[in-house]
Chains A and B, each alone.
Chain A
Amino acid sequence: MKSNNFVKLLLTLVASLISFIPFYITINVAFKPMTDMSSRWLLPKELYLGNFVTAIEKANIFGAMKNSLIITLFSVLIIVFVGAMAAYPLARIRNKFNRSVLNLILAIMMVPPLSILVPLYSNLSKMGGISTYWGIIIIISTFQLPLSIFIYTNFIISIPRTIDEAAMIDGCTDFQIYYKIILPLLKPVTATVIILTGVAAWNDYQFSLFFLQDPKMRTVTLAISSFFSQSSSNLNAAAAAALMAIVPVVIIYIMLQKYFVKGMIDSAIK
């Protein structure tokens, strides 16, 4: 039994190490000066911080983080608010019409963003939404909304209807029931929605690449990828930039790990 556990531990260790390789290599590259030609598998002899200085100055990482933060915050706000509201009638009034509305929303989840890129771009540019916060926020929100509606609808269905009926007997209108009774019950599932859609908004690349053309509007993913293509001669600085971009995400993940994993499962399994 004991040796069996040892084999399992060993295999888990191997799998974890493989997953960790890209992080390990990036750390090594980020802390070595450009002149250090030693293998990327070897740890740096000393912690050289010059690459981080270059990355902060040239890639404007902090400006990009500010943009990403604003976009993520407002997107999540819209996704939670509009999603939770839409889910209530979809969960409570289960007639044929509402079922087809729900199916339509789930079908939107499958639409590959790139397949409607061309018309979306021309429509948004007519509205003056290219390279604006509101343009990208509304696009990211729209494409994350189906997930939020899906999670909220499933959750509200699991809340007993008798609660609604009791409130109706007391003379509450539907909106009052939603606002005073259902909404407070949504707190735990809202954590899931915030984490899932927040990560998606923060990591967005496809939409940002098209709709944020102005360098001042660059988000973290855009700043890193454009810095990479510019600095093929100084990949060490690029590694430092990538490292700075992922450290906040990794820290939040390790702190709130349980919620991340639970959220993933909630969203995937009906």
Chain B
Amino acid sequence: MKEIKRKKFRHNHMSTNLMYVPAILLFFLFVIYPMLTGIKISFTNWNGFSQTYKYVGFENYIAMFKDKNVWSSFSNTIIYGVGSTIFQQIAGLSTALLINSKFKGRTIGRTIIYMPVLIAAVIMGNMWYFILQYDGGALNDILILIGKEPVDWLTQGNLTVWIIVLVNTLQFYGISMVIYLAGLQGIPQMYYEAADIDGAKKLSKFFNITVPLLMPAISTSVVLNLIGGLKLFDVVKALTNGGPGYSTHSLSTLVNFTYFNNQSAGYASVIGLLLFTFIIIVSLVAQKFFKSKEVDL
């Protein structure tokens, strides 16, 4: 009896599935098809605008593996991704723990810490320029005040990479904070009460109750920050434009630079494919890793 009822009142698969055809069409035209074209372009010496080009086989791929600038951008990309993710978790979780307890002023704190998330990253980067600039920058004003020599923060190579990580962290750790706040509010109070009866210490409660039950939030926040950091483009473009030399390029800014400044579309495509493969692998591994760590309530 039940079977018959189910069969009769079922969604009409064929015609209802038509409803996602427009979306799939857009994805095909503007994501999947370009991706396939990109693979084709990566085997050519196309300069990006001329009508003619030659197939060069794996030349671009071989060149990329030998290119020091690609590998320095690759290692910068990892620093941008992993560095920002670590800082964002630390800052996000600590402020979330802080704001999760009841006291006056916490809503205002949340409002201000989350505010930079909504500002365009490129504009935020420009605003940070007023602080990091050599001449008259706000940070150097402090150094001069305490009698130190001013520093050109944006031309220090590796140090500048970490400064960009900090700028990115300060802008976006509000996202982690909000995710952790939601996670903390979802932990039933009874676990802490039970631990209190057993005489558990604060630190032990944090590592044995809060962290395991926060795993879904940690997972979401880490994956989100990691992907965001590995794609980093706007802040780098605003603060250093990859320079001086190639020292602060991320793979994203390098693709842009190779295409528009060096006018080698074929080579830019290969770097783009490297970036794409890397991000897909990292996010799949991260998601698998966290799935195995999650606990059921």
Which residues of A are at the interface with B, using a C-beta cutoff of 8 A?
5, 8-9, 11-13, 15-16, 18-23, 25-26, 29, 37, 39-41, 82-83, 85-90, 92-93, 95, 98, 101, 104-105, 107-108, 110-123, 138-139, 141-143, 145, 149, 164-165, 168-169, 173-175, 178, 199, 202-206, 209-210, 220-221, 224-225, 228, 235, 238-239, 242, 245-246, 249-250, 253-254, 257, 260-261, 264-265, 268-269
Contacts and interface: CB of A to CB of B under 8 A. Distances in A.
A115 B272 contact: yes
A157 to B, nearest CB: 14
B101 A8 contact: yes
Contacts of A82: 22-23, 26
Contacts of B216: 269
Interface string B108-138: 1111111111111111101111110100111
Please indicate which of the listed interface residues B36, B109, B122 has the most CB atoms of chain A within 10 Å of its own CB.
B122
A175 to B, nearest CB: 8
Contact of B178 (A5, A23, A250, A264): A264
Contact of A142 (B26, B95, B256): B26
Contacts of B41: 118-119, 122
B17 A119 contact: no
A174 B16 contact: yes
Given A5-B103, A120-B34, A89 B131 contact: no
A176 to B, nearest CB: 11
Q: Which of B95, B120, B265 has the most CB of A within 10 A?
A: B120
Given A8-B103, A85-B19, A118 B255 contact: yes
Given A111-B276, A269-B216, A220 B115 contact: no
A77 to B, nearest CB: 13
A268 B120 contact: no
A63 to B, nearest CB: 17
The 7 A-B residue pairs whose C-beta atoms are closest, nearest first, are A203-B120, A119-B37, A86-B20, A115-B276, A12-B109, A86-B23, A119-B34
Nearest to B221: A268
A164 B244 CA distance: 61
Contact of A114 (B31, B117, B182, B275): B275
B13 A93 contact: yes
Contact of A110 (B119, B174, B279): B279
Interface of chain B, main secondary structure: helix
B204 interface: no
A114 B233 contact: yes
B179 interface: yes
A203 B121 contact: yes
B136 A37 contact: yes
Nearest to B9: A168
Interface of B: 9, 11-13, 15-17, 19-20, 22-24, 26-27, 29-31, 33-38, 40-41, 48, 91, 95, 98-99, 101, 103-106, 108-124, 126-131, 133, 136-138, 141-142, 170, 174-175, 178-179, 182-183, 216-217, 220-221, 224, 227, 230-231, 233-234, 237-238, 251-253, 255-256, 259, 265, 268-269, 272-273, 275-276, 279-280, 283
Contact of B122 (A86, A149, A205): A205
A111 B31 contact: yes
A238 B126 contact: yes
A143 B27 CA distance: 8
Contacts of B120: 202-205, 220-221, 224, 245-246
Contacts of A16: 108-109, 112-113
A269 B23 CA distance: 23
Contacts of B217: 269
20 contacts: A5-B104, A19-B174, A22-B124, A39-B141, A41-B141, A82-B22, A86-B23, A110-B283, A112-B252, A116-B34, A117-B255, A117-B268, A117-B272, A118-B255, A143-B31, A145-B27, A203-B121, A205-B122, A257-B111, A269-B179
B233 A118 contact: no
A26 to B, nearest CB: 5
A25 B130 contact: yes
A249 B174 CA distance: 16
Contacts of A168: 9
Contacts of B104: 5, 9
A115 B32 CA distance: 12
B90 to A, nearest CB: 12
